[in-house]
Copies of this chain bind each other. A is one copy, B any other.
Amino acid sequence: MALFKLALAATTALTLMAATGAQAEEGMWTFDNFPAAKVNETYGTKIDAKWLNHIQSAAVRLSNCSASVVSPEGLVLTNAHCVIACAQDLSSPEADYTQNGFFTTARTEEKTCPGQSAEILTGITDVTKEINAATSGLTGEAFVKALNAKASELEKAGCGTDQTIRCQVISFYQGGEYKLYKYRRYSDVRLVFYPEYKSGFFGGDPDNFNFPRYNLDAAFLRVYENGQVVKTPNYLKFNPNAPKENDVTFVAGNPGSTQRLMTVAQLETNRDLTIPVSQLQRSELRGRIIQFMAQSPENKRIGTDVLTNLENGFKVFYGQQLALNNPAVMEAKRAEEAALKAGMSAEDKAAFGDPWADIAAAQKEVGDLYFPYYFLEAAPTSSSLFTTARTIVRLAKEKPKPSTERLPEFADTRLPALEKRLLNPSPVEKPLDQIQLEFRLLKAREYLTADSPVTKLLLGKESPEALAKRLIDGTKLTDVAYRKQLIDGGLAAVQASDDPMIQWALKIDSEALAVRKQYEARVTGPTRIASEKIAKIRFKAYGTSTYPDATFSLRLSYGKVTGWEHRGVKVTPFTQVSGLYERATGVEPYELAASWKAAEPKVDKSKVFNYVTTNDIIGGNSGSPVINAKGEVIGAAFDGNIHSLGGAYYYDGTLNRTVVVSSSAIAEALKTVYDRKALLAELTGK
């Protein structure tokens, strides 16, 4: 269902499982370093620069997912779960699109998804030298600041203030390389087709990360600019026929974040502290949201999107935890590290020292710093109204400074998107937001204790429940005009505001920034520097035939259609439409949508519904086009099997599988179930 929607902010990242040699089909390759020769040799394909350029020009990055242009009229294919937030935003108590689907017959019915954007990568420039020159010899906070300043300067130089293009400096190979990615950006993305919840999310959370599956997890958007449809020759042909077993498949999309080159010390921090603590909180919040939703149909409506994200995030990290708790995995990582270390020349040892020990030392700091950092700087942002307040407060403080002196997220190049986000008119559901804020405040007191200065700063003499209620009840930040007034008024307006959420954000801000600075100086900075050293050692040892860790930037992976076998159970790679009807129990989440029930007599039950491939993907890849050797779209990736969850840390080609909604099911559904003849005609060019 939703593995491959971006669950995490992309972090800085690096390169591949090199010591033992990348497995066949392993890798999330950048378009400027795709191993075309190897693939052509293995699969008899004819991948060349033209083929790659064509794919790149039609591959779309959404704000949290992947997608592809599939018609000359700007039609975009992605997953239903990638646009559920849009469907929710467009809904009201009278029209529940999240549950009932959103269907159009004419372009005039297409509605803009608040806050959504579509970006197409148009160029990649190497800026490693410039970055290295600017950061040379620096460490800690000074390093981070210089890096951010230079990146910001390069982004500005590349894109200026043109809001239709976006530049981003991205670190690859853990700082071994820096590239400037330039995107054509479209800010008016409209919803065209989104199926009912019972169809797009059939099987719900229990089927998530499992296979066999029967999900029409597909949706269509359309790109507009200046009120007009964006016409383009750069689109992928939609082939409504399913592939065959062992057919080659390509996936072009934006994997969000992998940690395949983390050192053992970093993996241990994830295993023993950050993942367990985040999972415990996610579980408790999940329980609260489920019970909240059980209270009324309206609560159920407004809670669905939040719950879906929580449950998906839970499974992602559950799988990661299982992988890290597997002693064999840690043993392999340890051996890989030892081998790389043992292979270092005396010269390298003199030049680099022991960067693994440096990282281990920085990780030790996490134990002391994590909770204050998390509860002051990170956790409160799970309240959307607080996030708005903090962003307005910090914007007011940062904007008067020169761009390079600001916090990186307030650099000139980031401001247009940031201000757009602040003025996004999506409704905020106060009861839900209150639960989220109250919950994080409760957890702060629990994990830090009532005697901690951080708890005292957050709560004063109030209880978490009362404080959250007072802030949420009293804030006017749901009003776009009020937000604009504060933004335009700058720090004076912010300080003079009587909005309780603004005042609370102001109150905790200095201390929050202080713990963030401390965390960067003692953890993030030193880790980044040591990681770069390891990246250089790794380059020397294993050459350049490697892929970098995922960074939510465009990648291409290759693989094939095939099932797997585990504990004696053989799983075949295809499901058919007939299986949907067999699996239905009449009860959620196995209840058929009314449309599918009605269509049963006429639908072609032999059509392939979902299938699995060996492509190496991860969260952020949701909605990615699955492409055949001819460059045609044959489905949209929407999930992974249970074994794919360790993919954050390693790829295991015998078990990891991508789960795809087939083009054949999409075409059959549009034709027989939803009667969307115009959309189907546009898609198939007929």
Q: Are B321 and A587 in contact (CB under 8 A)?
A: no
Question: Roughly how many angstroms separate A327 CA and B268 CA in the complex, as a whole number?
Answer: 10
Q: Which residues of B lie under 8 Å from residue A31 when comparing CB positions?
A: none
Q: Identify which of A135-143, A446-454, A595-603 touches chain B.
A: A446-454
Chain A residues numbered 194-245 whose CB sits less than 8 Å from any CB in chain B? 203, 205-207, 210, 212
Q: Is the CB of B206 within 8 A of A325?
A: no
Chain B neighbourhood of A286, CB < 8 A: 284, 287
Question: A-B pairs with the 8 shortest C-beta distances?
Answer: A287-B287, A291-B291, A283-B283, A287-B288, A284-B287, A272-B325, A463-B587, A283-B284
A279 within 8 A of B: yes
CA separation between A616 and B567, bound complex, in Å?
45
The verdict on A207 contacting B450 (CB below 8 Å), with A291-B291, A295-B295 known, is yes
Q: How far is the CA of A295 from the CA of B294 in the complex (A)?
A: 11
- Check A291–B280 contact: CB distance below 8 A: no
A575 shortest CB reach to chain B, Å: 12
Q: Which residues of B contact A289 (CB under 8 A)?
A: 287, 291
- For A280, A287, A292, A435, which residue has the most chain B Cβ atoms within 10 angstroms? A287
Query: Is A528 close to B, CB under 8 A?
Result: no
Q: How far is the CA of A272 from the CA of B205 in the complex (A)?
A: 23
Residue A680 CB within 8 A of the other chain: no
| Chain B residues within an 8 Å CB radius of A295 | 295
Q: Does A466 contact B (CB under 8 A)?
A: yes
Q: Tell me whether A585 is interfacial, beta carbon within 8 Å.
A: yes
A466: which B residues are within 8 A, CB to CB? 587
Residues of B close to A210: CB separation below 8 A:
449-451
Closest Cβ neighbor of A587 among chain B residues: B463
Known: A206-B446, A287-B288, A461-B587. 7 other contacts (CB 8 A): A280-B283, A286-B287, A287-B289, A290-B291, A291-B292, A450-B590, A463-B588
**Chain A positions near chain B (C-beta within 8 angstroms):** 203, 205-207, 210, 212, 268, 271-273, 276, 279-281, 283-292, 295, 318, 321, 325, 327, 368, 435, 445-446, 449-451, 461-463, 466, 567, 585-588, 590
Q: Are B585 and A461 in contact (CB under 8 A)?
A: yes
Q: List 22 A-B contacts (CB under 8 A).
A: A205-B446, A206-B445, A210-B451, A212-B451, A273-B325, A276-B276, A276-B279, A276-B321, A276-B325, A280-B318, A283-B287, A284-B284, A287-B291, A288-B288, A291-B291, A295-B295, A368-B567, A461-B585, A461-B586, A463-B587, A463-B590, A466-B587
Interchain CA distance A205-B586 in the complex, whole Å: 42
Knowing A280-B279, A284-B287, A291-B292 are in contact, say whether A450-B203 is a contact too (CB < 8 A).
yes
A552 to chain B, nearest CB (A): 27
Asked whether, in the complex, the Cβ of B449 is within 8 Å of the Cβ of A206, the reply is yes
Q: Which residues of B contact A462 (CB under 8 A)?
A: 585, 587
* C-alpha gap A618/B37 in the complex (Å): 64
**Distance A187 CA – B422 CA, assembled complex (angstroms):** 66
Q: How far is the CA of A445 from the CA of B273 in the complex (A)?
A: 27
Residues of B within 8 A of A212 (CB): 451
The docked-state distance in angstroms from the alpha carbon of A462 to that of B591 is 11
Determine which residue in A284, A325, A368, A466 has the highest number of CB atoms from chain B within 10 A of its CB, and name it: A284
Query: Using Cβ atoms and an 8 Å threshold, which residues of chain B touch A368?
Result: 567
* Whole-angstrom CA separation of A249 from B325 in the bound complex: 41
| Residues of chain B within 8 A of A279, CB atoms compared | 276, 280
Query: Shortest Cβ distance from A268 into chain B, in angstroms?
Result: 8
Q: Taking each of A276, A321, A368, A466, which has the highest tally of chain B beta carbons within 10 Å of its own beta carbon?
A: A276
Q: Chain B residues with Cβ under 8 A from A586's Cβ?
A: 461
- CB nearest to A589 among chain B residues: B463
Q: What's the Cα separation between A314 and B153 when bound, in Å?
A: 49
Could you tell me the distance between the alpha carbons of A148 and B481 in the complex, rounded to whole angstroms? 74
Residues of chain B within 8 A (CB-CB) of A203 are 450
A291 contacts which chain B residues (CB < 8 A)?
A: 287-292, 435
A27 to chain B, nearest CB (A): 29
A435 to B279, CA, bound (A): 21
Smallest CB separation, A393 vs chain B (Å): 26
Alpha-carbon separation in the docked complex, A321 to B280 (Å): 12
Give the CA-CA distance A466 to B586 in the complex, in Å. 12
Q: How far is the CB of A338 from chain B (nearest CB, A)?
A: 17
Identity of the chain B residue whose Cβ is nearest the Cβ of A586 in the assembled complex: B461
Question: Known contacts A279-B280, A281-B283, A284-B283: does B450 contact A206 (CB below 8 Å)?
Answer: yes
A567 neighbours in B (Cβ, 8 Å): 368
Q: In the assembled complex, which residues on chain B have CB atoms less than 8 Å from the CB atom of A463? A: 585, 587-588, 590
- Complex Cα spacing A466 to B587, Å: 9
Residue of B nearest to A311 (CB): B446
Residues of B within 8 A of A327 (CB): 268
| CB of A610 to closest CB in B, whole Å | 15
A593 → B minimal CB distance (Å) = 17
Q: How far is the CA of A463 from the CA of B292 in the complex (A)?
A: 19
**Minimum distance in angstroms from A357 CB to a CB of chain B:** 15
User: Could you say which residues of chain B place their CB within 8 Å of the CB of A325?
Assistant: 271-273, 276
Q: Chain B residues with Cβ under 8 A from A268's Cβ?
A: 327
Q: Give the shortest distance, in Å, between A581 (CB) and chain B (any CB).
A: 14
Q: Chain B's nearest CB lies how many Å from the CB of A507?
A: 18
In the bound complex, how far is the Cα of B286 from the Cα of A286, in angstroms? Answer: 10
Write the nearest CB–CB distance from A385 to chain B, whole angstroms: 20
In the complex, A273 Cα to B322 Cα: how many Å?
A: 9
A461 / chain B contacts, CB cutoff of 8 Å: 585-587
Cα(A318)–Cα(B273), bound, Å: 11
A212 CB, nearest partner CB in chain B, Å: 8
Task: Say how far A203's CB is from chain B's closest CB, in angstroms.
Answer: 7
